[in-house]
Structure 1
Amino acid sequence: MTTQLESPSPARPGSLGEHLRRNKSVFGFDLAASLVVFLVALPLCVGIAVASGVPAELGIVTGIVGGIVVGCMPGSTMQVSGPAAGLTVLVASTIAQHGLAMLGVVVLGAGLLQIVMGLTGVGTWFRAISPSVIQGLLAGIGLVLILGQIYPIGGLDQPSSTGAKFARLPELFHAVFTTPAGRAGVTIAVATLLVMALWARLPNRLRIVPAPLVGVAFAAVLTYVLGLPLETIRVGSLLETLNVPSPADFGAVTSFAVLGSILTFALIASAESLFSAAAVDRMHDGPKTRYNAELVAQGTGNAVCGVLGALPMTAVIVRSTANVHAGARTKLSRVLHGCWLLLFVMLLPGLLSYIPLATLAALLVHAGWKLLGVRQVAALFREQRSEAFILVLTAGTILATDLLIGVLTGIVAAVIKTAWEVSGLSVEVEHEDDHARVRLHGNATFLRLPQLQDRLEQLPRTRSAHVDMTLLRHLDRACHQAIEHWAEQRRKDSCDVELAKPGTS
């Protein structure tokens, strides 16, 4: 008897063999992308922490949590989370108001609120916010970021309020031209930005290392070689830097100021993350973001950051874009980027002490300029003046007050603008001899009440009048009462008034 050996059959679609082969084929892409994202994230994590007024290590902790914790959760596949430049102003303001010890409580509360919002389906509603408000939000953050970070470049401490930042500009200019630290800081900042700009113009095959890291490395070497009198990053132990909230800190949660900070963090972080998701989804052909699941993931990450006393996180468009362009295929790339951050801060923390603060400030000024979106703003002014007004109003209010008031102001302005446009009302008037006819088209809402009343009151006195409302798409109570009141007054003057209401023929 002979035995016939069967050749191994090809793996069926969806089988374990195919799954392993597919994972092996994409692992190389994800590994390479994770290294690129790590190199982009490292200087930004440190710079955002320093600009926020917290130890540099807390920014890296947030990057680690954003990579490992949020990276493993469902929601989005390609976008990468970490500390965001847009929250530096909010963090600095919170620390100034409540102290560093309360930062963890606020971030934890914001994370829990994000989880509740995601579970109740609020995440989808963030897609309904006017793009002009979002552009205004980003532009306002960019303005505040630039205005604040020019002070560390000049060797001065950043003022706490917007008014003080403007008031101290003469002092800054004086320091830049007369003090060694000011001159050295400007030199290093300009050198950093020039290197980044030149690096970005190189062919893609040569730009293996991201431009921000090249700029930071060049500035660090230049500062060390020339012995420039610049303050550098102070690095300590990661575990010793953790700012875990104590039970006594949670007693202040009932304060309206703290609750307001929690709400502000949750709304701004959620908006930035979900708007980033919408942008990143347009960059790749993979699975699209599930908004509510992503909001839960972001909330979980912020809750963990709150427990550790670290910075709040959002999905960051810069890192996410680098992840997509580097060829990432799965979530593994963003998880690995968090692992590289953890290994770096454990094994090579001393390298951070060579980076001058002026260089990190230059990075954030560059990030603020990109947030401004000057070209997009100019295009909006050319195409839609009303939308541009909402953008400027939002950005200006953020600069003058704070993020939450600025965003709410922009949303209210956008709602009013939309209501005004939607409530278009046409009032056609005809009169001959002793008869007048009024035809109403469109939407008769309280916003158009002055227009409607003016046209009705201008009608000449006649023996009869007919008001045709059958073509109205909407008639609210205010306009309805105004028409009824006008008809009643005319009837007292012996005028026969006939009202044809919507829904009648």
Structure 2
Amino acid sequence: MTAQLDASSKKGRGAGVPQWPKGTIGADFAASLVVFLVALPLCVGVAVASGVPAELGIITGVIGGIVVGLLPGSTMQVSGPAAGLTVLVASAVSDHGLGTLGVIVLGAGLMQIVMGIGRIGTWFRAISPSVVTGMLAGIGLVIMLGQLYPVGGLEQPAHTAEKFTGLPGLVAAMFTTPQGQAGLGVAVVTLVILFGWQKMPEKVRGIPAPLVAVVLVSAAAWALSLPLKMTEVGSLLDAINIPAGDAWASAVTPAVIGSMVTFALIASAESLFSAAAVDRMHDGPKTQYNKELLAQGAGNAACGLLGALPMTAVIVRSGANVRAGAKTKASRVLHGVWLLLFVMALPGLLGYIPTAVLAALLIQAGWKLLELNKVVEMIRTNRPEALILVLTAVMIVSTDLLIGTLIGLGAAVIKTAFDVSRLSVKEEEHDDGHLRLEFGGNATFLRLPRLLERLENVPADKSVHLDLSTVRHLDQACHQAVENWVAQRERDNARTEVAMPAGVR
């Protein structure tokens, strides 16, 4: 009895406190170094691709590691700035200015906290897979298109249409200017390393491919004195972008509120979709979706107060964490500590990384978001779902992320409505000329044209038995149509019998 009380007391004292057994600290320490080495170039690359100072990406990575890492929700998932949000951030900065970015991210974080308290987190699991895949594919295409410009030594256009119209000039710059030729060369070498690293011997593959690519290609660029634009990283304290009075005043404008909603929904969806994928990669405790949404909201609120980039859980870092043998949350917290210590002690090293190398990292990230294997499989097995996927991706590329995703969701809802509104018809004609029509399935307004067409084709001189008793759902529109049809036949003195579903008169 005493032992039970002691165990219960220890459990109670540990409630809500991260439990990091001494036996796992070695594995978590090693994993945290791997995640840190993967996260560092990506934090910088996402910030540069978003059109904001590189330091803001690192601040988000530190908060994602330390703040979100300490909170309950997921165990293995690692948060930070994500390639999937670069499109949103670049658009928000272009439309509202860098000073307002913190207000938008703070508002999005508070919305995530409200959604977590309202237990909305689990509802994100109900979104159609075709819409999710299409959304990620659309984001991937936009990222890849945008990052071609830094490779060619040009500034990335703010809008997608300008990115398409600028392609001829970009191609010319890549092959005719020294900076474009050098950028194309280092990007190609970086991509070859990134995509080919899995073919290396198993012992070598333990080193993260992004780290190898960045170190080797950056060293080669420096040794050859290539005419490339380098990454600029300064003091984290100087980069803190606390929202000022004008930014707070814009928080109540419809455009800024719309950006908050978009950030909150996309960041939440990406984090929780990532959680589902990461949970399949390990045998430890699974993600508690609503708590994870609260943790993400707290992290984004902190990022917003400092004017940094928004965060999500990132599958690249999370996967690296699992594969490196992490056991507890300690690995993701420590990776945030290493990010902070590195940038405080050795920020100058980041200045040797060409922006074309970071662009190549993000091009690979965009390619992974495409998930072509899933697209091809869906086209082969389910054409309607594949159509929704393609529609979502195309609309995101041609309009923007929010509109494209909403169109995809709308198409998925319409398809589902038609799928669940299937209406079958069986017809039997007896020797005496009596006709029996039996309807089954769901008689909704979506199937009203089919119902009316069949009823109106019944000859007026035949007696009819209309059997609707097996219909699972008869909505008001179809019910009224049947009543009107019966009334018309009675006026024509045509014999008609109707069997309605149970509970319908």
How far 1:236 moved relative to its partner?
1.3
Local SS of the residue matching 1:397? helix
In 1, the alpha carbon distance for the partners of 2:173 and 2:361 equals: 21
Match of 2:412 in 1: 414
Q: Once the two structures are superposed, what CA deviation does each residue of 1:97-146 show, in whole Å capped at 9, x if it has no partner?
A: 00000000000000000000000111110010011111001100000000
State yes or no: 1:229 paired with 2:199: no
How far 1:207 moved relative to its partner?
2.8
Match of 1:271 in 2: 269
Matches within 5 A, 1:479-490: 479-490=478-489
Using structure 1 for the length normalisation, give the TM-score. 0.95
Q: Once the two structures are superposed, what CA deviation does each residue of 1:279-338 show, in whole Å capped at 9, x if it has no partner?
A: 111111111111000000000000000000000000000000000110000000000000
State yes or no: 1:38 paired with 2:36: yes
Match of 2:465 in 1: 466
Between 302-311 and 439-448, report the one with greater CA deviation.
439-448
| Contact 2:20 2:330 survives alignment (8 Å) | no
| Contact 1:434 1:462 survives alignment (8 Å) | no
Matches within 5 A, 1:151-230: 151-230=149-228
Between 438-447 and 48-57, report the one with greater CA deviation.
438-447
Stretches (4+) displaced over 6 A: 12-16, 19-22
Match of 2:75 in 1: 77
In 1, the alpha carbon distance for the partners of 2:20 and 2:318 equals: 23
% identity of equivalent residues = 63
CA 411–180 in structure 1, closer or farther in 2 if over 3 Å, else same: same
Match of 2:498 in 1: 499
Match of 1:402 in 2: 400
Matches within 5 A, 1:13-32: 23-32=21-30
Amino acid at match of 2:411: A
How far 1:223 moved relative to its partner?
1.0
Q: Once the two structures are superposed, what CA deviation does each residue of 1:241-281 show, in whole Å capped at 9, x if it has no partner?
A: 11110133111111111010000000000000001001111
How far 1:344 moved relative to its partner?
0.5
Match of 1:346 in 2: 344
Local SS of the residue matching 1:69? helix
CA 14–41 in structure 1, closer or farther in 2 if over 3 Å, else same: farther
Match of 2:301 in 1: 303
In 2, the alpha carbon distance for the partners of 1:412 and 1:447 equals: 15
Between 203-212 and 483-492, report the one with greater CA deviation.
203-212
CA 92–454 in structure 1, closer or farther in 2 if over 3 Å, else same: same
Match of 2:437 in 1: 438
Q: Once the two structures are superposed, what CA deviation does each residue of 1:437-481 show, in whole Å capped at 9, x if it has no partner?
A: 211111111111111111111111125322111111111111111
Amino acid at match of 2:155: D
Amino acid at match of 1:201: K
| Contact 1:67 1:337 survives alignment (8 Å) | yes
State yes or no: 1:129 paired with 2:109: no
| Contact 1:463 1:494 survives alignment (8 Å) | no
How far 1:174 moved relative to its partner?
0.7
Q: Once the two structures are superposed, what CA deviation does each residue of 1:147-173 show, in whole Å capped at 9, x if it has no partner?
A: 100111011111111111111111111
Amino acid at match of 1:450: P
| Contact 2:65 2:334 survives alignment (8 Å) | yes
Match of 1:453 in 2: 452
How far 1:13 moved relative to its partner?
7.4
Local SS of the residue matching 2:21? helix
How far 1:412 moved relative to its partner?
1.1
Amino acid at match of 1:503: A
In 1, the alpha carbon distance for the partners of 2:54 and 2:20 equals: 39
How far 1:504 moved relative to its partner?
7.1
CA 281–183 in structure 1, closer or farther in 2 if over 3 Å, else same: same
Match of 1:4 in 2: none
Q: Once the two structures are superposed, what CA deviation does each residue of 1:197-245 show, in whole Å capped at 9, x if it has no partner?
A: 3433222322342100110111111111111110001111111111110
| Contact 1:435 1:462 survives alignment (8 Å) | no
How far 1:21 moved relative to its partner?
12
How far 1:48 moved relative to its partner?
0.2
In 2, the alpha carbon distance for the partners of 1:170 and 1:223 equals: 26
| Contact 1:48 1:83 survives alignment (8 Å) | yes
Corresponding residue to 1:312 among 286, 310, 313 = 310
Between 349-358 and 495-504, report the one with greater CA deviation.
495-504
Using structure 2 for the length normalisation, give the TM-score. 0.95
In 1, the alpha carbon distance for the partners of 2:484 and 2:107 equals: 52
Match of 1:364 in 2: 362
Corresponding residue to 2:102 among 101, 104, 107 = 104
In 2, the alpha carbon distance for the partners of 1:204 and 1:265 equals: 39
In 2, the alpha carbon distance for the partners of 1:183 and 1:434 equals: 83
In 2, the alpha carbon distance for the partners of 1:15 and 1:105 equals: 43
How far 1:14 moved relative to its partner?
8.3
| Structure 1, unpaired ranges of 5+ | 1-8
In 2, the alpha carbon distance for the partners of 1:197 and 1:414 equals: 34
| Contact 1:436 1:462 survives alignment (8 Å) | no
When the two chains are superposed, the root-mean-square deviation of aligned CA atoms in Å is: 1.9
| Contact 2:241 2:306 survives alignment (8 Å) | yes
CA 114–454 in structure 1, closer or farther in 2 if over 3 Å, else same: same
Local SS of the residue matching 1:261? helix
Local SS of the residue matching 1:192? helix
In 1, the alpha carbon distance for the partners of 2:479 and 2:197 equals: 66
| Contact 2:73 2:287 survives alignment (8 Å) | yes
